[in-house]
């Protein structure tokens, strides 16, 4: 094995197969960590992106919902620490065209809310699933995620 590294170190720098930096990447490889990220939808146009390692789900509005609402001007969010049951009212979104209630897709405890939405509610339009996320919920019953709509089912719903 040491001979391979010695030969790799002596190899021409232009040789991609034997660059020392490439060999070091393989040797220093870290074991992979299994984390399952599940994305599900509600019929009310909320999305939850659930991480099974942390048991925390990030709640967002769907792209379809933000397009239907139009330019968002106000967002009401739940209070961190709130206990929620699946289907509970957790906030509201107001736009220049309409207002809409937000419902919890799962049961659990609100761990964090996106405080940036108070100053920049338009983040919901620009990036509903990245910068415009609503809140993070630590699930009390992770099996509830499996009962929500998968992407194909949600796509049929909005068609």
Q: What is the mean pLDDT of residues 105-128?
A: 96
Q: How many angstroms separate the CA atoms of 25 and 21, rounded? A: 6
Q: What is the pTM of this model?
A: 0.77
pLDDT value at 148 more than 70: yes
Query: Which pLDDT score, from 0 to 100, does residue 103 have?
Result: 97
Query: Residues near 1 by Cβ (< 8 Å), separated by ≥ 6?
Result: none
Give the pLDDT of residue 34.
57
Q: Give whole-number Cα distances, 103 to 15, 27, 52, 148, 155, in Å.
A: 57, 48, 21, 13, 19
Instruction: Specify the residue for token string 């509610």.
Output: 121
pLDDT in tens, 130-142: 999 999 999 999 9
**Mean pLDDT, the chain, integer:** 84
CA of residue 60 relative to chain centroid, distance: 8
* 107 Cβ contact partners less than 8 Å away, ≥ 6 residues apart: 84, 85, 86, 139, 140, 141, 144
The predicted structure's pLDDT at residue 27: 38
């Amino acid at each position: 094995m040491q001979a391979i590294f010695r030969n790799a170190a002596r190899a021409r720098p232009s040789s991609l197969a034997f660059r020392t930096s490439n060999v070091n990447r393989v040797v220093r490889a870290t074991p992979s960590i299994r984390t399952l990220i599940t994305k599900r939808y509600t019929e009310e146009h909320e999305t939850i992106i659930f991480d099974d390692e942390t048991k925390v789900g990030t709640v967002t509005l769907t792209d379809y919902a933000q397009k239907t609402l139009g330019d968002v001007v106000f967002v009401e969010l739940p209070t961190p620490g709130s206990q929620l049951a699946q289907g509970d009212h957790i906030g509201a979104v107001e736009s220049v065209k309409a207002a809409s209630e937000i419902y919890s897709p799962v049961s659990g405890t609100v761990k964090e809310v996106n405080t940036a939405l108070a100053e920049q509610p338009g983040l919901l339009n620009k990036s509903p699933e990245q910068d415009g996320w609503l809140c993070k919920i630590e699930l009390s019953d992770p099996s509830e995620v499996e009962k929500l709509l998968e992407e194909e089912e949600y796509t049929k719903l909005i068609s």
